[in-house]
Amino acid sequence: MLRRSVLSNLATAAARRFSTIAAAENAAASGGGGGDTLGRRLFSLVYKKRSAVIAIHQWKEEGRKVQKYQLNRIVRELRKLKRHKHALEVCEWMRQEHDLKLLPGDYAVHLDLIAKVRGLISAEKFFEDLPDEMRSWQTCSALLHSYSKSQDIDKAEALMDKMRECSFLKNALPYNHMITLYISNGDFDKVKVVIKELMKNTKPDIVTFNLWLRACASLNDVEAAKKVFLELKKSEVEPDWITFSTLCNLYVKNKLLDDAGSALKEMEKRAWRKNRLAYSSLISLYTNMGDKDGVNRIWSKMKSLFRKMSDAEYTCMLASLVKLEEIEKAESLYTEWESVSGTGDPQVANILLAAYINRDQIEEAVKFHNRMVEKGVRTCYTTWELLTWGNLKTKQSEKVLDYFKKAISCVKTWNPDKKLVREVFKILEEEGNAEGAEEFLDVLRNGGYVSTEVYNSVVRTYAKAGKMPLIVAERMEKDNVELDEETHRLIKTTSNMCVSEVSKFVA
């Protein structure tokens, strides 16, 4: 049976994923009027191999000025677009220009970009080579952020100790990095310790409170979340849409629909053009509350506010319509996406494909997949995985193996789905399909996943077929897999059966 978590994961990803790119592009486009600007030239460098430094040099050779505030703004917008390589090149050019006076904040941005483009070791080397006066709270916080992102607790805590010694902990930013790190590691006791120190030494900001609420939500602690919100109001910090989104999610999870409705109204008040991600979150929250009118109203509002919907937003809306059992509307929306997007993003199509399979409409799913191929939609691992689950329902083992092989071939490193493996072996065993079991074992081996359980499943399939498998123990030793009690029992059971033919998949 297809796990509904596949569709759920797609929907969650859709709710979180939004086009910061569109927002940044709009900001960039509005920045220099309609004429030629340095910003426009740098934003036009779509491909990573193109050099931002060359573009700046050409601009200067044309007798045009390059001012620091312009470059800082360009770097900011490039970071929003996740064009980190070009942003780093701009920072490196600025560092070489002696007439540009750089501040600690400029070096902090530079360090963050080095960590993203070249890795943490390069960022540490950059920090070590900085002049003493530039090793400020800003650059320390940037390095701390890199440690937080890389989940390096030991280095983060050591850096926090040094920042304490240097009296650099005078604002909420470094504390927020540590709270984020501890939340991601599930260490909520340390979250409390950090918040207590923060409240003693400085003032929390909205990020602090949102992280604090996120910790409460992770613990599913409604009362603690309400106390945090009261603390927020006492501190006169203005809540934002993320505040109410976190509260609403927590209330919905605990079936406190009145509280959820109130939080949702407050959240909607804070959804503006600049906070475009809030609209996708609103759609997901209205969906979780079963409010079809709210979902349709927010989608209509988005289409009136924004020139074009992103793939992520179409994915979010499709997932919502499917969850609300509005399949015909979802089909119509998908057709609209086909006509306007042209990206061939499989995440959008996989929502509808998963819906057909969840509804046991396997023929419809196959037809839809054919449509995806005809329209040029890229087929990814999830697509083939969904089709594998679908054909498991109809117990078509040949198609199951074919789709599974295609799924594995789509990824460099496969994260084994043990339930899917067990379900495939289940139908092979029911059929007594020993050759199919050997083929599946070969596919799993190529995917980097061979275990005692896998081999036991193969031998059970032979037993069902009334055949004796060949050199099982030797093959397991070669694959560095141990035999357990069940393996020995199965080998003994099949030892008196007729000898099977040598499978083409046996090495």
Distance separating alpha carbons of residues 450 and 405, to the nearest angstrom = 15
Q: Would the pLDDT of 3 be above 50?
A: no
Structure tokens at 118: 């070249």
Per-residue model confidence as pLDDT tens digits over 305-360: 999 999 999 999 999 999 999 999 999 999 999 999 989 999 999 999 999 999 99
C-alpha distances out from residue 305 to 18, 188, 308, Å: 15, 40, 9
Distance separating alpha carbons of residues 262 and 142, to the nearest angstrom = 37
pLDDT for residue 262: 96
Structure tokens at 436: 């199919």
Place of tokens 């040949």: 398
Give the three-class secondary structure for 467.
strand
49, 85 contact by CB (below 8 A): no
pLDDT for residue 506: 66
* Entry field: residues in the chain: 507
Place of tokens 């920072």: 91
Non-local (6+) Cβ contacts of 234 within 8 A are: none
Q: Would the pLDDT of 16 be above 50?
A: no
214/501: higher pLDDT: 214
Structure tokens at 229: 């919100």
Q: What is the mean pLDDT of residues 468-496?
A: 92
Half-sphere exposure of 197 (CA within 13 A, CB side): 18
Distance separating alpha carbons of residues 499 and 471, to the nearest angstrom = 11
C-alpha distances out from residue 370 to 314, 331, 365, 388, 405, Å: 21, 15, 9, 15, 18
Distance separating alpha carbons of residues 439 and 442, to the nearest angstrom = 5
pLDDT for residue 9: 53
Q: What is the mean pLDDT of residues 232-251?
A: 95
User: What's the one-letter identity of residue 329?
Assistant: K
Q: What is the mean pLDDT of residues 209-224?
A: 97
Q: How sure is the predictor about 502, in pLDDT bands with cuts at 50, 70 and 90? A: low
Q: Would the pLDDT of 390 be above 50?
A: yes
Structure tokens at 420: 């899917």
Q: Would the pLDDT of 7 be above 60?
A: no
Angle CA 332–338–342, to nearest 5: 160
Q: Would the pLDDT of 200 be above 70?
A: yes
Structure tokens at 464: 């069902």
Distance separating alpha carbons of residues 337 and 331, to the nearest angstrom = 10
The torsion angles phi and psi of 498, rounded to 5 degrees, stand at -65, 145
Structure tokens at 44: 């036009």
Q: Would the pLDDT of 504 be above 70?
A: no
- Region of residue 191 (phi > 0: left; psi between -120 and 50: alpha; otherwise: beta): alpha
Q: Would the pLDDT of 6 be above 60?
A: no
Q: Would the pLDDT of 159 be above 80?
A: yes
For the chain, the C-alpha Rg in angstroms (whole number) is 28
- Region of residue 211 (phi > 0: left; psi between -120 and 50: alpha; otherwise: beta): alpha
Q: Would the pLDDT of 86 be above 60?
A: yes
User: How far is CA 420 from its chain centroid?
Assistant: 22
Nearest to 201 by CA among 171, 165, 231: 171
Non-local (6+) Cβ contacts of 65 within 8 A are: none
Number of C-beta neighbours around residue 56 at 10 A? 22
Q: How would you classify the pairing of strands 467-468 and 498-499?
A: parallel
Kindly report which listed range (1-10, 146-155, 417-426, 453-462) carries the lowest average pLDDT score. Answer: 1-10
Structure tokens at 187: 């260490």
Place of tokens 């809540």: 239
Q: Any bridge partners for residue 346, and if so which? A: none
C-alpha distances out from residue 76 to 35, 92, 206, Å: 21, 14, 21
Q: Would the pLDDT of 21 be above 70?
A: no
- C-alpha dihedral sign at 111, 115, 120, 125: negative
Q: Would the pLDDT of 11 be above 90?
A: no
303, 309 contact by CB (below 8 A): yes
Secondary structure (H, E, C), 286-330: HHHCCCHHHHHHHHHHHHHHCCCCCHHHHHHHHHHHHHCCCHHHH
